[in-house]
Structure 1
Amino acid sequence: MPPVRPLLSRAASACSFALLAACSSLPTIAPDTAEAAGTGGVRIDGAHGPLSPDAQKRVLARLQAAGQDTDIFQRHLAYEQEIVGSPLSAGNRVTLLQDGPSTYQALYAAMAGAKNSIDMESYIIEDDEVGRRFATELKAAVARGVVVNLVYDSVGSIDTPKAYFEDLAAHGVNTLQFNPIDPLKAKAGWDVNSRDHRKLTIVDGRTAFVGGINISSVYSGGSFRQHTKYEPGHGQKVPWRDTDLQIDGPVVADFQKLFMDTWARQKGKAMASADYFPQVERQGDVVVRAIGGTSTEPYSQIYATLLSAVRSSSTSILLANAYFDPDPQLMGAIKDAAKRGVDVQLLLPSVSDTWLVSAAGRRHYGELLEAGVKIYERQGALLHSKTTLIDGVWCAVGSTNLDWRSFLHNDEIDAIVLSPAFGDQMRAAFANDLAQSQQLTLDKWQSRGLFPRLQEWSAGMWEYWL
């Protein structure tokens, strides 16, 4: 979601998009479909192609053992592969990046060391201190012979001056505007409600960055320290808490394919020749799957994968998300997990840059609390992370919010990471956030006033478009 913009402008834009766009729906995922998939269809690729059957069994056995009594690897992995169509990829190194400063420093270092290509896709690119630093890095890369391709969303970057992107193009950056608001500029058909919400950077076909962080100065401050009180309507007054991953290894090729698919679907001009798919040797021991979602696919792969993982959980679900407004099917899966004894913890924002999505999501708090779900609200920061950790082993990090827009109208991208060691890191990060959060109780929630109830009711009427 974008940093704060004038409320009237955003409301007008939302109404216009609603009138112009065709309705679509989320898929109905039958619970027994995952069980029927079995485990025989799970495929794991290494640096040099598919692993042998024995090697695949060893990888899955190690992951399954880490999950103790979880059945996630009996039921989920094969189903996920049927949904996504791409294999698990072994031999990767995954680095957890928390908040803007650490993520930007890692990105700057990778771009400065690029020798072949930089491919960047971002919902928001602002012409501020951070945006200008990225522009400098991209132009410098072009000057030393690196091919640079950049996709930006026309709505997410609506406040960025046209001159910013013209300057990049003048310096040799190959730019592509996703679904231009102006229908005369739309080369792939005009569907202004379909947005590119991804945040993805690929360097030399070897390193990928994926997560929730846009290119904006709102991320300049870290979130793990005391700050001034949040002022409603002024998101810049509070630090933004977000999460990204740096991934090195064979799976980067799958992220590269997703980037190039976006470029092709939007009919961008031919990309300059470069070694986009180099032979990447084993970099670590982490198993990763790249998943992309688009508004044009017959069903949301990311949605179906998440629903399968939640239904397959047996011990714990730790879910942190900036914009939480789930559909009835996902709500049911979360409540069912809590009712069967899974420790379900939701980490959600206490403040937001958009009251509409926040209020729409809060309508569900009562029934979640009644089902045994624990809800915490992050204090002292604007929570923008999109992470899920299931049974301590299955982890999703990416750009996907748990709302209707992400699953129906946006292009999104997630990394699914299977690793007990990385799961420990995610659990520790979640615990650090909980230490700066307040838990909601059912009694406290039921005693809220009339005004927030009215906000929740009115926002709920717009949830399909938020």
Structure 2
Amino acid sequence: MPTPNRSHSPGAAARRRPGVRTTTIMRTAALACALQLGLGCASLPDAARELQMRPARPVEFDSARGPVSTRRAAAIMDELKRRSGDIDILDKHLAVEQAINADIPLDLGNRLILLQDGPATYAAMFAAIRGAKDHINLETYIFEDDGIGRQFADLLLERQAAGVQVNLIYDSVGCLDTPPAFFERLRSGGIAVLEFNPVNPLAGNKAEWLLNNRDHRKLLVVDGRTAFIGGINISESYSSGSARRPSPKKRTQAVGWRDTHLQLEGPVVARFQQLFIETWTRQKGTPLAARTYFPRLEKQGDEIVRAIGSASADPHSLIYLTLLSAIASAEQRVYLTNAYFAPDPQLLDTLTDAARRGVDVRLILPGQTDAWVVFHAGRSHYEELLRAGVRIYERSHAVMHSKTASIDGVWSTIGSTNLDWRSFLHNDELNAAIVGRDFARQMDAMFARDLAESDEVDLERWERRPLLLRLKEWAARLAEYWL
């Protein structure tokens, strides 16, 4: 089964084969060190300092009619507290959320559909694309020339021929294995196609060659009314999902991909649309064809959502600051699932501090992966986390690719952001933060299902792991900034 093997950096090709020898690990680590010396390093912000410097501000909400009044905001807060039960916890997370993202209002009146794995996500996306009447904006890291990729391409060309304007942004590194003819066919059919930070320094319209800055977002906006975000790329790898099933060739269980996506309808869709257009503009794409990109949006449900985008050119990652602040504010539980776990010292400290003060911190991480260097870099931190009381589980029978969090049963996030340096420093990423207990219940139920399919890492057994594993972890740790 093919796998999305460009999940992180320009050097991802070096980790496509999980059985690579230790000498290759050492070479990768040495190359990463050389890159750091030669190119310099960006740095992550001090989350605690950033929070202290930001003045306390009342929580602001936007509705389908625009910003709501102070009186209406207070009523919304009262209703949230009534529904959420634990007033103190909700107040704390709303205050933290507002301090970090004061310039991005919480959008009211949204409908959310939690999509688990590729089959459900692709079915929902295909249905939305088929129903498009005005435009389709698609932004993706990987767009493969395989069965699923060709289904997407055929459907997009069909809608373009029917008069629906299709605009596509794809990442140059993520699509290294996709033949240029694949995208040329889309262009010939009238689709506006933009390559993000081309690998070829002579291609593109920008003066800078930013090979290390990648567009890791996965975003689909249809008619400005429906949006999809999450961790799922356009690849055959996701087509079978994560359910256990017999392999037709071997009498064993074939391994699928476990991932999470989110379908959104309501006022927050305009925020995601704006982020797509901003990326198009920054990349100096040809002017977008005139369409109704921002239709009037009505209330579609009761969910409160904040769209959070981060770009490598930003002073700091709002997603990083938001997540660290939410974990630091946790009182009861922190549930994280993530595909690529290579934490920086600040994230590591935040997780261990939460566990030491009695918060139930649980991580579901991959038990097998397409990115073996990141896999071992993450494992190099297990002992410190386990000693602090963090509980770690490795997902079995599937490749874990989700990027989700649920904290204290009131705050959740789904998006494209991994828990590693690359996502927080070098990539353009996209997340939705959801405030409220109703959606958090769905997230916690999903987490429980993944937990049932995972194996807990025991500290005593982990301390007895073989020397070769320790060597791989040490070597991978040297390279984790660039993974």
Give the structure-2-normalised TM-score: 0.90
Match of 2:235? 216
Match of 1:163? 181
Match of 2:5? 4
How far the C-alpha of 1:76 sits from its partner, in A, is: 3.9
How far the C-alpha of 1:50 sits from its partner, in A, is: 1.2
Equivalent in 69, 91, 104 of residue 52 of structure 1: 69
Q: Supply the distance in 1 between the matched residues of 2:329 and 2:15 (Cα, whole angstroms).
A: 42
Match of 1:176? 194
Letter of the 1:255 partner, please give it: F
What aligned pairs does 1:289-438 form with structure 2 within 5 A after superposition?
289-438=306-455
The answer as to 2:60 corresponding to 1:43 is yes
How far the C-alpha of 1:80 sits from its partner, in A, is: 3.1
The answer as to 2:133 corresponding to 1:115 is yes
Match of 2:124? 106
Match of 2:151? 133
Equivalent in 230, 240, 244 of residue 257 of structure 2: 240
Partner of 1:92, secondary structure, is strand
C-alpha offsets along residues 22-70 of structure 1, whole Å, 9 cap, x if unaligned?
Answer: 42010012268359744x4310000001122232223223334455446
Equivalent in 431, 455, 466 of residue 472 of structure 2: 455
Distance 1:70 1:391, change over 3 A: farther
Q: Supply the distance in 2 between the matched residues of 1:72 and 1:164 (Cα, whole angstroms).
A: 50
Match of 1:145? 163
Partner of 2:412, secondary structure, is strand
Instruction: Quote the sequence identity (%).
Output: 53
Residues 367 and 399 in structure 2, CA contact (< 8 A), matched pair in contact too: yes
Match of 2:216? 197
Q: Supply the distance in 2 between the matched residues of 1:237 and 1:291 (Cα, whole angstroms).
A: 36
Letter of the 1:420 partner, please give it: R
Letter of the 1:309 partner, please give it: A
How far the C-alpha of 1:72 sits from its partner, in A, is: 4.6
Match of 1:207? 226
Q: Supply the distance in 2 between the matched residues of 1:90 and 1:75 (Cα, whole angstroms).
A: 19
Residues 197 and 412 in structure 1, CA contact (< 8 A), matched pair in contact too: yes
Residues 386 and 398 in structure 1, CA contact (< 8 A), matched pair in contact too: yes
The answer as to 2:98 corresponding to 1:74 is no
C-alpha offsets along residues 188-217 of structure 1, whole Å, 9 cap, x if unaligned?
Answer: 221100000000000000000000000000
Match of 2:301? 284
How far the C-alpha of 1:261 sits from its partner, in A, is: 0.6
Equivalent in 87, 105, 110 of residue 92 of structure 1: 110
Partner of 1:185, secondary structure, is coil
Residues 15 and 371 in structure 2, CA contact (< 8 A), matched pair in contact too: no
Match of 2:280? 263
Partner of 2:195, secondary structure, is strand
Distance 1:57 1:129, change over 3 A: same
Deviates more, 1:53-62 or 1:195-204: 53-62
Partner of 1:93, secondary structure, is strand
Residues 93 and 411 in structure 2, CA contact (< 8 A), matched pair in contact too: no
Q: Supply the distance in 1 between the matched residues of 2:333 and 2:4 (Cα, whole angstroms).
A: 32
Q: Supply the distance in 1 between the matched residues of 2:351 and 2:132 (Cα, whole angstroms).
A: 42
Distance 1:184 1:440, change over 3 A: same
Match of 1:187? 205
Partner of 2:292, secondary structure, is coil
C-alpha offsets along residues 57-100 of structure 1, whole Å, 9 cap, x if unaligned?
Answer: 23223334455446454344344344332100000000000000
Match of 2:47? 29
Q: Supply the distance in 2 between the matched residues of 1:381 and 1:9 (Cα, whole angstroms).
A: 18
Distance 1:21 1:163, change over 3 A: farther
Q: Supply the distance in 2 between the matched residues of 1:225 and 1:9 (Cα, whole angstroms).
A: 26
Deviates more, 1:14-23 or 1:207-216: 14-23
Deviates more, 1:28-37 or 1:131-140: 28-37
Distance 1:326 1:109, change over 3 A: same
Q: Supply the distance in 1 between the matched residues of 2:186 and 2:222 (Cα, whole angstroms).
A: 18
How far the C-alpha of 1:8 sits from its partner, in A, is: 4.2
Distance 1:214 1:100, change over 3 A: same
Q: Supply the distance in 2 between the matched residues of 1:368 and 1:67 (Cα, whole angstroms).
A: 30
Q: Supply the distance in 2 between the matched residues of 1:409 and 1:105 (Cα, whole angstroms).
A: 31
Deviates more, 1:82-91 or 1:269-278: 82-91
Q: Supply the distance in 2 between the matched residues of 1:363 and 1:125 (Cα, whole angstroms).
A: 32
Distance 1:426 1:9, change over 3 A: closer
Q: Supply the distance in 2 between the matched residues of 1:401 and 1:69 (Cα, whole angstroms).
A: 29
Deviates more, 1:143-152 or 1:66-75: 66-75
Partner of 2:335, secondary structure, is strand
Residues 404 and 414 in structure 2, CA contact (< 8 A), matched pair in contact too: yes
Long gaps (5+) in structure 1:
none
Residues 369 and 375 in structure 2, CA contact (< 8 A), matched pair in contact too: yes
Distance 1:202 1:446, change over 3 A: same
What is the root-mean-square deviation in Å for CA atoms of aligned residues? Answer: 2.3
How many residues get paired? Answer: 459
Distance 1:347 1:42, change over 3 A: same
How far the C-alpha of 1:435 sits from its partner, in A, is: 0.8
C-alpha offsets along residues 205-246 of structure 1, whole Å, 9 cap, x if unaligned?
Answer: 0000000000000001121324559x9xxxx95200000000
Q: Supply the distance in 2 between the matched residues of 1:340 and 1:69 (Cα, whole angstroms).
A: 19
